Structure 1
Amino acid sequence: MFNLHRPIISASATRYLLVTVLSFAATVVVTRVYLELTGYPQIGNDTFHIAHALWGGLFLIVAVLLMLVFANRWTYDVSAIVAGVGVGLFIDEVGKFITQQNDYFFPLAAPIIYVAFLLMLLIYLMVRRRQTSADLVANMYQIIRELEEVLEDDLSVSERDAMLAQIEPITQQTDRPDVAELAKHIHAFLHTDAVTVVPDQHSVFTNLIERFQKLENRLFSQGRTRMLLTLVFLLNGLSTLFVLFTLFSALATGSFTFPTILGDIVVDEVHVTGTTSLNWFVAMIALQIITGLLLFFSAVTFLRKHDKTAVRIGEWALVISIVFINPLSFYFNQFSILLNSVYLFLILITLQRYRFRFLRDD
């Protein structure tokens, strides 16, 4: 009988989602770069054109079949990669789906792709936050799934110890006596000699993480990281102040008016074609000025050693840039701002690492 029970978030959900998001982003970037370098070749003839959106659909079908057919846990990692590639190939041709002329280069396509990436990233963050809450049933689901390592003769010492630590409180709870009894049997089984336990072996990814953390601890002390963030924010803020000073100086002389200055700015903007696009362009400039000022204030606050406030202001500025300014920039500048977007994400990650490493006590 089919019973619809409460959905349980997988313990590995964040890893699968992150892999999907990264493979999706990488696929779009690689596809765009490849097509640009090769002159946009097509697979087909005078009658047929096999768009890469079809290949994206094929990858998505393969990802679903892998999870439906096979029980091994590694299939979820492979499915996450394949699904990300499929989504990337599919959504890369969104311009053809939203225009009567099947225009691959339609300006709105780039911001739609970027917003789709942000939405997937938001889902990842929401799931990661949900996983921090303790849940008896969810923990038991995870333990039962971890038992697959026993079937594969691949249960490591650290994995067994983690399972024992996680199952111990379940055996003591009284809300679900049946679950507690099952947990006790699993707990006893893991202590028997029948369980083959292999020595811990770090994966390539784990080794890379450990090397990165050692390098981070050696090169990026709190003082150096604060200095780096202060310098980056200060340069951005001072450039914004210079723009404001130049603008107000030109207006104060009376030789220039705001419409004249705005006309000089947008004269080379090919995607500013009417009142609506002009209003969005002005909104983008206004937001850039606001974030520039916020970053300047964050830099000053860092200099005053008020790190917690400085991090908060910097995070607000970077989030505004990533969530609101970048979609507009993708419309007006298309994929030419891709490196700038990567730069913003790297600065935000650096800021988050600074908070995690040095401000956790606060």
Structure 2
Amino acid sequence: MPSQGPARSLQHALRLDLVRSEKASVHLTTFVVAAVSTILVTRAYLALTGYPQIGGDSGLHVAHVLPGGLLMLVGLTLGFSYIGPGPRPIAALLGGIGFGLFIDEVGKFVTADNDYFFEPAAAIMYVVFAGLVVGAHAWRRYRPLTDEEKVANAAHVLVDGLAGRLTDTRRQEVLRTLDALGDVRGARPLHELLSQVEPRTPTVPQRLERLWHRVWGLFDRLAGSRFAAPVLGVLFVVQAVGAALVTIGLWRSGSSYAITLSGVLTGTAASLVFVALGLRRWRTHDRHSALGWFQRSALTSLLLTQVFLFAASQFAAVAGLAVDLALLGLVGNGRARALADRDR
């Protein structure tokens, strides 16, 4: 119909032809871990040194949001200035440190009196990082790369190879991917070119990327071992006991934490219900469905329970965050294995 012509033209004009990176979740994990670690180190240092101000009594105050912005600028500049995937690990690391310094002062941005100690600031920071983690998790699970995007990623890696910046481990990994793609357009020519590339010793950024591969490899091996179920059980017990202890502490502290207490109780109750449903599925040998319920439990804790915990006890919430990330890593790899076994 003629009326659909302008609408289709507008849709085509607004569409962003973006090719997704297969390493996006790895780089985002580096970014989040660097940012959270920076916040914890910064706050610990300031508490131990009595919150000194750069500039002293001169009337100047150099807030650490400024070096944070400069580090984010450096990370962006690396991405703008160099081609190929080589600079991305170090850009993710520097950008994460810079963003941690930036968002650590969010209390000053949202209060009229520039209150660095604004209590809800911790919850704001937590929501931002939880959103990033969950977004990356959903991206990996629900939107796998197409064959064409895999070929495009291999071509991106070839850039490093032609410049003499490609390690043999990475080259072999991409060659296996291209072998599996078979006759997909561009796969065979790229395979031939990559086979002729001379590998080199890993650089510091590539070693950083390999570190994350080892972490995910550990989760994958653990998910496929006979210790997977006991480890999951221990993590869920630690999660529930930790929330219970914080709840008791909040209840004893008085009514000022009534909203936080309600949030922690609601999140913990929902997580336990999901665990119970998962155990029920596990007993019927429906492992994929069981792991799905376990995943919902971990996400509920991450997005609800820990948010309220952060408002009351940052250290307890950080510990809960570590447990939830371990659960998501283990459950995610377990689901991938269960799905592969089911499709065979």
Cα deviation code 1:239-276 (max 9, x no counterpart): 99x99xxxxxxxxxxxxxxxxxx99964515853xxxx
Shift in CA distance, 351/189, structure 1 to aligned 2, threshold 3 Å: closer
1:110 has 2:122 as partner? yes
**Distance of 1:188 and 1:263 partners within structure 2:** 63
Q: Is the 8 A contact 1:168 1:187 kept in 2?
A: no
1:56 has 2:41 as partner? no
Q: What is the aligned counterpart of 2:253 among 249, 268, 284?
A: 268
**Distance of 1:294 and 1:186 partners within structure 2:** 46
Q: Any stretches of 5+ residues in structure 1 without a counterpart?
A: 172-179, 244-261, 273-277
**Distance of 1:167 and 1:305 partners within structure 2:** 33
Report the equivalent of 1:230. 233
1:295 has 2:275 as partner? yes
Residue 325 of structure 1, CA deviation: 1.4
1:32 has 2:43 as partner? yes
Q: Is the 8 A contact 2:278 2:291 kept in 1?
A: yes
Q: Any stretches of 5+ residues in structure 2 without a counterpart?
A: 1-13
Residue 93 of structure 1, CA deviation: 0.5
Based on CA coordinates, which of the two structures has the bigger radius of gyration? 1
Which letter maps to 1:355? R
Q: What is the aligned counterpart of 2:56 among 18, 36, 45?
A: 45
Report the equivalent of 1:257. none
Which letter maps to 1:268? S
Residue 84 of structure 1, CA deviation: 0.8
Which letter maps to 2:334? Y
1:169 has 2:183 as partner? yes
Shift in CA distance, 142/264, structure 1 to aligned 2, threshold 3 Å: closer
TM-score of the aligned structures, taking structure 2 as reference length = 0.74
Cα deviation code 1:95-132 (max 9, x no counterpart): 11111121111111001101110222234235435762
Q: What is the aligned counterpart of 1:284 among 254, 257, 264?
A: 264
Shift in CA distance, 143/167, structure 1 to aligned 2, threshold 3 Å: farther
Q: Is the 8 A contact 2:223 2:330 kept in 1?
A: no
Report the equivalent of 2:299. 319
Cα deviation code 1:256-297 (max 9, x no counterpart): xxxxxx99964515853xxxxx34532432332332344345
Shift in CA distance, 41/336, structure 1 to aligned 2, threshold 3 Å: farther
Shift in CA distance, 146/129, structure 1 to aligned 2, threshold 3 Å: farther
Residue 21 of structure 1, CA deviation: 2.0
Give me the CA root mean square deviation.
4.2
SS in 1 for 2:324: helix
Q: What is the aligned counterpart of 1:340 among 320, 325, 328?
A: 320
1:79 has 2:82 as partner? no
- Using the TM superposition, name which of 62-71 and 206-215 deviates more: 206-215
Q: What is the aligned counterpart of 1:124 among 126, 136, 139?
A: 136
**Distance of 2:190 and 2:259 partners within structure 1:** 64
**Distance of 1:239 and 1:21 partners within structure 2:** 23
SS in 2 for 1:147: helix
Residue 359 of structure 1, CA deviation: 5.8
Q: Is the 8 A contact 1:231 1:299 kept in 2?
A: no
1:4-23 alignment, distance < 5 Å: 6-23=17-34
Residue 30 of structure 1, CA deviation: 1.9
SS in 2 for 1:9: coil
Q: Is the 8 A contact 1:229 1:299 kept in 2?
A: no
Report the equivalent of 1:197. 198
Q: Is the 8 A contact 2:68 2:99 kept in 1?
A: yes
Residue 40 of structure 1, CA deviation: 2.2
